[in-house]
Amino acid sequence: MPPRTGQVRIDVAYTGICGTDLHILHGAMDHRVQLPAVIGHEMSGRIAEVGDDVTGWAPGDPVTVMPLAWCGECPACEAGHNHICHRLNFIGIDSSGSMQQSWTVPADILVRLPEDLPLEQAALIEPTAVAVHDVRRSRLTAGESAVVIGAGPVGLLIGKVAQATGAKVTVLELDPHRRAVAAQLGLPALDPQTTDVAAQIQQRTGGAGADVVFEVSGSAAGVRLATELLAVRGRLVVVAIHPKAREIDLHRVFWRELEIVGVRVYQREDYEAAVRLVHAGDVPADRLISRIVPLEHVADAFAALETGGDVKVLIDCGGNA
């Protein structure tokens, strides 16, 4: 639809499918998604039209979006944490998303892209911003050691963002294909089924343990292992969504003065950092894209992702012509 006051219309170039979209497909988020619905929030495109009272933007500008709309009135917003607003509208889940050719959005959620950044790579800015936020919340610094449990797209991105901070990173992953992808990206990867991971991390850290563990697998085993791997005053960052309560070794938390850090979505500074990392090649977005599928074959794209052989599948929404 044409943009109203304060809105822009975007010709969507690419939309990435994320794990949340698969949850939506299987009905796990029916309480939030009102059918019929257009989903999608990992995107890139160019502005096609600008509504009244929109300044600083023009047709042709390459953009992505930070797909969050908050109320500005709840306790979280008043405390300055509007990205985790009590009434957050996650655009593409709670309202119409980007898996379409033409998308009208508020201008204040736009994020500018460099002109020379390929739009297919720019579609990975959103999940990279997730990784940036997770690493920033972990307070990881150069020279520290980090373990990433789970080498799906977000786990791989966390690994690369952590490396960009100067940290020493080890990835744990059961799936051999994902371990191979991690290795190709320069992320040392171990199979926790065939390796004494705790002994390996002890060896790699001079007996101290990891400074930070990112739990990205969403598994009970991942949670149990995480506390075992941490150094004194280490930080466990809970990235994955755990729909069920998990057992955790609270004695270990007590004994080593561990911290448990929750992370959710991102803030504007995370998006801006993500743009810089992808543009500079510190996050090799092009090597994470497994395939690009036309919009009319979106069902095939979802089916391909569920086989487990792909890292990131993009939908070509037609706005890159």
Of the candidates 217, 214, 218, the residue with the CA atom closest to the CA atom of residue 261? 214
Beta partners for residue 262, in sequence order? 238
User: How do strand 110-112 and strand 289-294 relate by DSSP bridges?
Assistant: unpaired
Whether 291 and 310 have beta carbons less than 8 Å apart is answered as yes
Is residue 86 annotated as a catalytic residue, yes or no?
no
**H/E element, 190:** strand 189-190
Q: Which of 15, 20, 170, 227 is catalytic?
A: 20
Q: Which of 5, 15, 23, 307 is catalytic?
A: 23
Beta partners for residue 145, in sequence order? 168
Whether 157 and 131 have beta carbons less than 8 Å apart is answered as yes
Is residue 20 annotated as a catalytic residue, yes or no?
yes
What is the distance between the terminal CA atoms of the chain, rounded to a whole angstrom?
A: 20
Q: By three-state DSSP, how is residue 255 classified?
A: helix
The dihedral over CA atoms of 79, 83, 87, 90, expressed in degrees to the nearest 10, equals 170
CB-based burial of residue 215 (10 Å sphere; 0-12 exposed, 13-18 middle, 19+ buried)?
Answer: buried
Helices 197-204 and 220-229, packing angle to 10 deg = 30
Q: How far is CA 164 from the centre of its chain?
A: 16
* Active site positions, annotated: 20, 23
